[in-house]
Amino acid sequence: MSERLKDKVALITGAAQGLGKEMARSMISEGAEVFISDINQDQLDETVTELSCSGISLDVTKSEDWEKAVAHIKDKSGSLNILVNNAGIGNGGDIESTDMDTWRLVHNVNLDSVFLGCKYSLPLMRDSGNGSIINISSMSGIVASHNTSAYNSSKAAVRHLSKSIALHCAKSTNLVRCNSIHPVFTRTAMVQSMIDAAPERDIEQKLIQQIPIRKLAEPIDIANAAIFLASDESSFITGTELLIDGGLSAT
């Protein structure tokens, strides 16, 4: 264990599984005190036990949940240095097949959550003396596809919102940074469900073919980037976007 995040307190949303869980595991091994949160209570309890960390029930779409979560962390740890807005949902559907309820749901979970998380966490992060907000967007927020209109839109908005927050923080106190991470297809339940939905179409190979280095990303690839942005090694980096795409954006 090294200690790149020693003395830092982190909150990661949607961390009962997938990328959030891997980021939690990595941050713990770098010395951070980590609070993981999720809407899926059973899975959250399992992961809390597995990682020996603290768990918070937090529906990222609810203001009152955010207020309670931040108050809980303040009470237990006194500070908050790292916020990872990771919770999100995938969605397939082009502009004509996406109904208004789906559009709203995807933006509520993927985008409104980032607004709420940053809004309610910032006062404690600022009082903590330093902070790094990491918003998990997607390559889909940079490169669009015809059949994920709501997802594309929500993730592109997360990219721009992150820059606005970074500028606000730089202007107001210069103590908190904010950046976005843009992973390409990564081997988690979200992608596995896409692959499993149509075995006859060999979706895994189709995804891999789009990535120049010819493999899916693994959760640890994203966690390694999050550690860098959370640590003081990136102290001059704010308002930027980190693409983890195996070269896709270079094509």
Residue 16: both structure tokens together: 């009962």
Q: How far is the CB of 184 from ligand NAI (least distance, A)?
A: 6
Residue 120 touching ligand NAI (CB under 6 A): no
Residues annotated as catalytic are 151
Residues of span 27-66 touching ligand NAI by CB under 6 A: 38-40, 58-61
Kindly tell me which of 131 and 183 has the beta carbon lying closer to ligand NAI. Answer: 183
Residue 152 touching ligand NAI (CB under 6 A): no
Q: How far apart are CA 53 and CA 225, in angstroms?
A: 21
Which is nearest to 66 in space by CA: 88, 89, 37, 43? 37
# chain residues binding ligand NAI, by CB under 6 A:
28
Q: How far apart are CA 162 and CA 134, in angstroms?
A: 8
Residue 246 touching ligand NAI (CB under 6 A): no
Residue 109 touching ligand NAI (CB under 6 A): yes
Q: How far apart are CA 103 and CA 108, in angstroms?
A: 9
Q: How far is the CB of 3 from ligand NAI (least distance, A)?
A: 26
Residue 13 touching ligand NAI (CB under 6 A): yes
SS3 assignment, position 69: helix
- E strands within the chain? 9-12, 33-38, 54-57, 82-85, 131-136, 176-183, 241-244
Residues of span 165-224 touching ligand NAI by CB under 6 A: 183, 185-186, 188-191
* Contact assessment for residue 242 and residue 229, using Cβ atoms and an 8 Å cutoff: yes
Query: Contact positions toward ligand NAI, by CB under 6 A?
Result: 13-14, 16-20, 38-40, 58-61, 86-89, 109, 136, 138, 183, 185-186, 188-191
